Amino acid sequence: MTLRKRVGCGKSSVPVFAAFAFAAAFVLAAYICARAADSGEVALSLVEPPNVARSQSLTLKTVGPFGTDQAIAVFAEPCSSAQPGATSGCSGTIQKQIVCVKKDAGSCSAIVPLDLPLGTYAVALVPATLTSSADLTLIPSLMVTVASSSDQRPVLLGVMPTVSYPPQGDQIAPIPEGSLGPEPVGRGAHGSAGSNACQDTNPQPATISLLLTGSNFSRAGSDNRILWKGSEMPVCWKCDQSGQCAASMVIGTVDRSGREIRLRNISIASFSGISTIAVSVGSDTSETKTITISRAAKDDPRWGAIVALLVIGVLLFLILANAPKARVGGTLKG
Are residues 166 and 104 part of one domain?
Answer: no
Alpha carbon distance 67, 50 (integer Å): 25
Are residues 248 and 124 part of one domain?
Answer: no
User: Could you tell me which residue, 328 or 163, shows the higher pLDDT?
Assistant: 163
Do 296 and 252 touch, CB atoms closer than 8 A? no
pTM as predicted: 0.59
Tens-digit pLDDT profile for residues 62-105 = 888 776 667 888 888 876 544 444 445 555 667 788 898 888 88
Are residues 159 and 284 part of one domain?
Answer: yes
Are residues 138 and 250 part of one domain?
Answer: no
In a domain, 246, yes or no: yes
Q: What is the CATH number of the domain that holds 256?
A: 2.60.40
In a domain, 49, yes or no: yes
For residue 150, pLDDT beyond 70: no
How many angstroms separate the Cα of 215 from the Cα of each of 85, 220, 255, 281, 310?
39, 14, 11, 12, 50
Q: What is the CATH number of the domain that holds 127?
A: 2.60.40.10
Per-residue pLDDT, averaged over 156-165, amounts to 90
Are residues 274 and 168 part of one domain?
Answer: yes
For residue 196, pLDDT beyond 50: no
- The mean predicted confidence, pLDDT, of the chain is 73
- pLDDT score recorded for residue 244: 72
- pLDDT score recorded for residue 67: 66
Are residues 255 and 168 part of one domain?
Answer: yes
In a domain, 20, yes or no: no
Tens-digit pLDDT profile for residues 276-323 = 999 999 889 999 999 998 877 665 556 566 777 878 887 887 787 776
- pLDDT score recorded for residue 238: 78
- pLDDT score recorded for residue 4: 45
Q: What band does 153 get if pLDDT is binned at 50, 70 and 90?
A: confident
In a domain, 218, yes or no: yes
Task: Give me the domain span that covers residue 121.
Answer: 35-147
In the chain, the number of structural domains is 2
For residue 177, pLDDT beyond 50: no
Are residues 176 and 132 part of one domain?
Answer: no
In a domain, 330, yes or no: no
Q: What band does 131 get if pLDDT is binned at 50, 70 and 90?
A: low
Dihedral in degrees, nearest 10, Cα atoms 265, 268, 272, 277 = 0
Are residues 41 and 120 part of one domain?
Answer: yes
Longest dimension (CA), the chain: 170
